[in-house]
Structure 1
């Protein structure tokens, strides 16, 4: 694992656990304790974590990590989810994408899907997003019409929120929306850390004919601060094969269709 990938993974682990000891982190990431101390010191200099005696805690300003620091964790799983999501989209659809690492992978999968990547006089897809990074990547692809909501930019997730975002979304209709979440619980449904992002994500889902909440199985059973919604809002829950059978049954008993993305076959 390269150093930047290891540091990404460490930040993600701290985001999940809150704090870690040097030895624990070193064992988990399969490096020496000395290497882990250097990584922690480097991230502390960037104010992304706070060093403690024998370990580190996530800095108060990084409770939701920037996209650029999160991509290295669960990449294979997120790419599998992205391929499964892209397969749900028809040529000519209007697709809603919330912000997040998984939805960013969905944007890439759609942009490179052979029938949607063809050059031609007409645009093959319309993508509506409140994520600056997704719009930035798609804006250079003439075969995709990219609609970016207005709003106030969140410094950690690159998502636009607030009344301007709501005004735009209220005027649009969407065929299918893919909404990322920080937590997915059978009783509470999809949740995120920030209430303003939760509100915009919920509105995007309501404007869609089909709303799909998509997250990897490590988020199952997690409850975050702001609720987006459950089966009354979402049509489908897309996750990976790590979902426990008991959780899958409970989601489906509550009326939420659950789809498991198949991993990419190994050569």
Structure 2
């Protein structure tokens, strides 16, 4: 396991348990105690964890991992969700994308679709996003028009939010919006860690003809701080086939329309 992958795994393990000692983490990740101490020290310097005598605990500011640490988590599942989402998009559509690793994958699938890459005098697709990293990736695609909302940048998610974002979104109408979430629950709906991002993401959903929540199955049953919306806001929820039948029934009974996406056989 390479160091970035190992540090991702360490942060995820710490997020599950809240506290780890060096030996416990070293055993779980199959490295030496010395290697684990170095990894913990490096993450502590970035304020992603707090070192304790013999281990580490979650940092008080690490309520959400920076997006650069999350891209490799559940990659196959995110790809399946992204491909299912991209099939809902037609040539000429105006598509809203919130920030997040799953919506970033949606952007990548859309960017590589042959019908959106054909040369021509006009853009084949318009992407409206409050995500700095999505805008950065797609800006080099001449046949995709990028509209960035503006706003205050969040250092962990690379999302723009606040009054400037809302001012732009209120002037636009979207054909479909894909909104990434940190947690989704049949009763509590879609939630994220930051209240400003929740407001911006909810408005993006409301400005679209179709609003779709996208999340891999690891987000199921999680409830985070800020509410984005339930089936009153989202016409559909796309997840992967890690959702079992009981969970699907809970969502549909609560009014959600659920699409479970399966990975491609060659993944």
Q: What TM-score bracket applies, with the shorter chain setting the length?
A: over 0.9
Residues 8 and 71, structure 1, Cα contact 8 Å, conserved in 2: no
Q: Which runs of 5+ in 2 are unaligned?
A: none
The residue correspondences of 1:87-236 to structure 2 (distance < 5 A) are 87-236=87-236
Equivalent residue of 1:60, what SS?
A: coil
For residue 219 of structure 1, report the CA deviation from its aligned partner.
Answer: 1.0
1:260 aligns with 2:241: no
- Shift of the 30–235 alpha-carbon distance from structure 1 to 2, 3 Å rule, reads farther
* Residue deviations 1:151-207 (CA, integer Å, cap 9, x gap): 111122111111111111111111111101111010010001111000111111111
In 2, Cα distance between the equivalents of 1:73 and 1:23? 24
Equivalent residue of 2:211, what SS?
A: strand
Structure 2 residue aligned with 1:241: 241
For residue 72 of structure 1, report the CA deviation from its aligned partner.
Answer: 2.1
The residue correspondences of 1:40-79 to structure 2 (distance < 5 A) are 40-79=40-79
Give the superposed CA RMSD. 1.6
* Residue deviations 1:198-233 (CA, integer Å, cap 9, x gap): 011111111111111011111111111110011111
Q: Which runs of 5+ in 1 are unaligned?
A: none
Equivalent residue of 2:61, what SS?
A: helix
Equivalent residue of 2:42, what SS?
A: helix
Residues 97 and 178, structure 1, Cα contact 8 Å, conserved in 2: yes
* Residue deviations 1:109-131 (CA, integer Å, cap 9, x gap): 11011211222222110000011
- Shift of the 11–170 alpha-carbon distance from structure 1 to 2, 3 Å rule, reads same
Residues 9 and 72, structure 1, Cα contact 8 Å, conserved in 2: no
For residue 16 of structure 1, report the CA deviation from its aligned partner.
Answer: 4.3
- Shift of the 54–183 alpha-carbon distance from structure 1 to 2, 3 Å rule, reads same
In 1, Cα distance between the equivalents of 2:16 and 2:196? 21
TM-score scaled by structure 2?
A: 0.94
In 2, Cα distance between the equivalents of 1:17 and 1:28? 12
In 1, Cα distance between the equivalents of 2:73 and 2:138? 23
In 2, Cα distance between the equivalents of 1:245 and 1:21? 37
- Shift of the 118–16 alpha-carbon distance from structure 1 to 2, 3 Å rule, reads farther
Moved more, 230-239 or 72-81: 72-81
Aligned pairs, number: 267
- Shift of the 265–56 alpha-carbon distance from structure 1 to 2, 3 Å rule, reads same
Moved more, 80-89 or 17-26: 17-26
In 2, Cα distance between the equivalents of 1:136 and 1:184? 28
For residue 62 of structure 1, report the CA deviation from its aligned partner.
Answer: 2.5
In 2, Cα distance between the equivalents of 1:124 and 1:36? 48
For residue 49 of structure 1, report the CA deviation from its aligned partner.
Answer: 1.4
- Shift of the 13–172 alpha-carbon distance from structure 1 to 2, 3 Å rule, reads farther
